[in-house]
Amino acid sequence: MVIEIISIGDELLIGQTVNTNASWMGEQLMELGIAVRWITTVGDDFDGLKEALRNAISRVDVVLVTGGLGPTNDDVTKKVMADFFDSRLVPDDDVLEKVKTRFAKRGLPLTKANVEQALVPDKAELMDNDCGTAPGFIFTQGEKCIYVMPGVPQEMKSMMVRFVLPRLKGQQIIPVHKKVLCTTGIAESFLYEKLGAYPELDKLVRIAYLPNYFGVRIRLTAAGNTDDEAKEKLDSAEKIVRRNASEFIYADKDISLEAAIAERMVQDGKTLAVAESCTGGLIANLFTNIPGSSTFFERGVVAYSNQAKTELLGVPAGLIERHGAVSSQVACAMAEGIRRLAKTDYGLSTTGIAGPTGGTDEKPVGLVYVACADEGKTAFERHTFADQRRINKERFAQAAMNLLRKRSWGFI
């Protein structure tokens, strides 16, 4: 079964409202293994909506329409539906009754607009609205089925859950299982190459790479004739991915790297202090965004100037002079310094050149040293990223946190 969503409303076209309705519906349908093939957004526009309906009915089995059922006269959906399905608008007593009680309850007089809400297309099956006054409609045309719902998220969701999804669930056949594996520290193209070597993956699942500056999320979607088959396919696919990318995977649910690290820190009763230069407080900020972070995050220092590195972290001025502030030696001294002063299990540090200016041939913009000090040893890494300050800070922070993850999770 293939579906099209038609979202109606000028506010969606001028960016006043983000179309979260469509994404919510898509997610619900995905859960049922039902594919949304199209989402069409059109304004409160009689001819536009008719065209959208015509296209949708020509190419999908089920059309889900939301919006434009309100009482104001920029709401054209009901008129278009009546016209399109060659249906008359007739008063419905139950709906009128409901509108009346609703208004009486709030001590409000009925307006003409409200009474008009009780007009319904005579060829439509009604869907009760338990959060508002406008009912939903179901039209059928041959094999095709068209569900029309209000655009108010709460009202649409209630109708989806009470009427639409149960019916579609009855009709749909493909069981689907999905999982997201979050990776970091590897570029999309490399991940793609690693996994591209396993053609059986494509037979087992639909695999999507979702990259951002923090890493690449791998989404596996398995469909089968039975629920078990789908699940088995997903499991076998996950095994292949894990076998080839284990050290890059930090979570099997869609969470941030810092959240995954924090979970483990709390579990293991470990503590952390951070000494940041080029990331300027970003790492401290990310960790302290997590509720309860005070149980493992002891302190942070943003040692932006060399003087601060010496005063706050005990980095020998001579070391900075010899190797420069941006060096593995200073990164390690910063990590060890903050760990010693804060008396924490882990000390994490960053020193680099976020840019856009301040780079040299030898030490270009985008260069960063990250270091992680613990009881066992002090590990460091050198990375070079691009030239945009904000993105560099994000990537520097991610690299530092990933080093901490690799140490504290025993990968290195």
Which residues, 163 to 192, sit near a second copy by CB under 8 A? 187-190, 192
Report yes or no: 44 and 68 within 8 Å, Cβ to Cβ.
yes
Q: Assess 342 for contact with a second copy (CB under 8 A).
A: yes
Q: Which two tokens stand for residue 261?
A: 């690290």
Report yes or no: 123 and 155 within 8 Å, Cβ to Cβ.
no
Give how far Cα 84 sits from Cα of 70, 79, 135, 156, 202, Å.
19, 8, 18, 22, 42
Closest approach, Cβ 276 to a second copy, in A, equals: 8
The binder of a second copy chosen from 142, 199, 269, 292 (CB under 8 A): 292
* Phi, psi angles (nearest 5°) of residue 219: -105, 120
Q: Measured from the CB atom, is 194 or 323 closer to a second copy?
A: 194
Residues 365-404 that bind a second copy (CB under 8 A): 366, 383-386, 388-391, 393
Q: Assess 96 for contact with a second copy (CB under 8 A).
A: no
Q: Assess 267 for contact with a second copy (CB under 8 A).
A: no
Q: Measured from the CB atom, is 43 or 136 closer to a second copy?
A: 43
Query: CA-to-CA distance for 235 and 246, rounded, in angstroms?
Result: 15
Q: Which two tokens stand for residue 246?
A: 């284990």
Binders of a second copy: how many residues, by CB under 8 A?
109
Helix (H) or strand (E) holding 132: none
Q: Measured from the CB atom, is 52 or 127 closer to a second copy?
A: 52
Q: Assess 259 for contact with a second copy (CB under 8 A).
A: no
Query: CA-to-CA distance for 211 and 355, rounded, in angstroms?
Result: 23
Q: Assess 282 for contact with a second copy (CB under 8 A).
A: yes
Q: Measured from the CB atom, is 266 or 409 closer to a second copy?
A: 266
What is the separation of C-alpha 361 from the centre of its chain, rounded to a whole number of angstroms?
38
Cα-trace Rg, the chain: 29
Residues 294-333 that bind a second copy (CB under 8 A): 294, 297-305, 308, 311-312
Q: Measured from the CB atom, is 55 or 236 closer to a second copy?
A: 55
Residues 191-250 that bind a second copy (CB under 8 A): 192-193, 207-212, 219
Residue that is written with structure tokens 């709906």 in the block: 95
The binder of a second copy chosen from 247, 341, 379, 409 (CB under 8 A): 341
Query: CA-to-CA distance for 328 and 371, rounded, in angstroms?
Result: 8
Q: Measured from the CB atom, is 90 or 131 closer to a second copy?
A: 131
